[in-house]
């Protein structure tokens, strides 16, 4: 083997190794930019911090809610689902939103009173947020963008859209407004089946 051939082969190996190291660095950067469900913090309806890491190990149903909507009676089914399956393994998180027909105009205090008085809501309710558009809450951006959640994109089309997140923080499914909280697949998810 000639010395020239040997040096050329060594040089090619060095270039290949440099390229591989560069690719690993880029992949690590991309991974570090990807957010997890557990990276999000929100405000609850009382203005207190609510950290999604507190939900590790639980299946989660996230729903955008409104008090003056044709779907508002779903609060009753959501509460029933929560009473039957909520606890150590399952939780429902409600996010009031006023983006669809102005159907959630109230303050957090008014929303909280309405939910308790009319539907006995005991599952956690959060601060009013935007679920689409220029001011979309970062959590809803993650829920609706495949590039961020790594599974699927979803359009929040109206009040009472439902998102399922598994006990490991993985995006599972999206259901539109007309899907009842008592839909068999949602019940199966809530019960851990």
pTM of the model: 0.82
Over residues 100-125, the mean pLDDT reads 96
Contact between 93 and 63 (Cβ < 8 Å):
yes
Length of the chain as a residue count: 193
Scanning the structure block, which residue is given the tokens 């809530």? 190
Q: What's the pLDDT at 12?
A: 55
**Degrees (nearest 5) of the Cα angle 188, 180, 77?**
85
CA 142 centroid distance within chain: 6
The answer to whether residue 2 scores a pLDDT higher than 70 is no
% of the chain with per-residue pLDDT over 90: 81
Q: What's the pLDDT at 25?
A: 47
pLDDT in tens, 13-69: 555 555 445 544 444 444 345 679 999 999 999 999 999 999 999 999 999 999 999
Over residues 78-101, the mean pLDDT reads 97
Contact between 169 and 147 (Cβ < 8 Å):
no
Q: What's the pLDDT at 193?
A: 82
pLDDT in tens, 164-192: 999 999 999 999 999 999 999 999 999 99
Over residues 108-130, the mean pLDDT reads 97
Q: What's the pLDDT at 48?
A: 97
Instruction: Please spell the DSSP secondary structure of 111-170, one letter per residue.
Output: HHHHHHHHH---S-BB-----SSTT--HHHHHHH-HHHHSS------STT-EEEE-TTS-
pLDDT in tens, 146-157: 999 999 999 999
- Those residues whose C-beta lies under 8 Å from the C-beta of residue 111, and which sit 6 or more positions away, are 45, 67, 96, 104, 125, 128
Pick the CATH number of 37-191 from 3.40.30.10, 3.30.420.240, 3.40.50.300, 3.40.50.2300: 3.40.30.10
Catalytic residues: 69
Taking all residues of the chain, what is their mean pLDDT, rounded to a whole number?
A: 88
How crowded is the C-beta side of 36, counted as CA atoms within 13 Å? Answer: 14
């Amino acid at each position: 083997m000639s010395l020239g051939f040997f040096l050329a082969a060594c040089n090619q190996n060095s270039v290949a190794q440099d390229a591989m190291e560069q690719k690993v660095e880029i992949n690590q950067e991309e991974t570090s930019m990807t957010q997890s469900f557990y990276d999000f913090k929100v405000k609850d309806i009382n203005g207190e911090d609510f950290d999604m890491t507190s939900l590790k190990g639980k299946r989660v149903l996230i729903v955008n809610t409104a008090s003056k909507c044709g779907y508002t009676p779903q609060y009753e089914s959501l509460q029933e689902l929560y009473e039957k399956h909520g606890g150590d393994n399952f939780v429902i998180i409600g996010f009031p939103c006023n983006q669809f027909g102005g159907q959630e105009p109230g303050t957090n205090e008014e929303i909280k009173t309405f939910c308790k008085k009319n539907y006995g809501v005991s599952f956690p309710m959060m601060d009013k947020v935007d679920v689409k558009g220029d001011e979309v809450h970062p959590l809803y951006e993650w829920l609706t963008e495949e590039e961020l959640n790594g599974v699927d994109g979803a359009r929040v089309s109206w009040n009472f859209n439902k998102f399922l997140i598994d006990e490991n923080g993985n995006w599972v499914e999206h259901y539109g407004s007309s899907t009842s909280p008592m839909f068999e697949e949602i019940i199966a998810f809530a019960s851990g089946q």
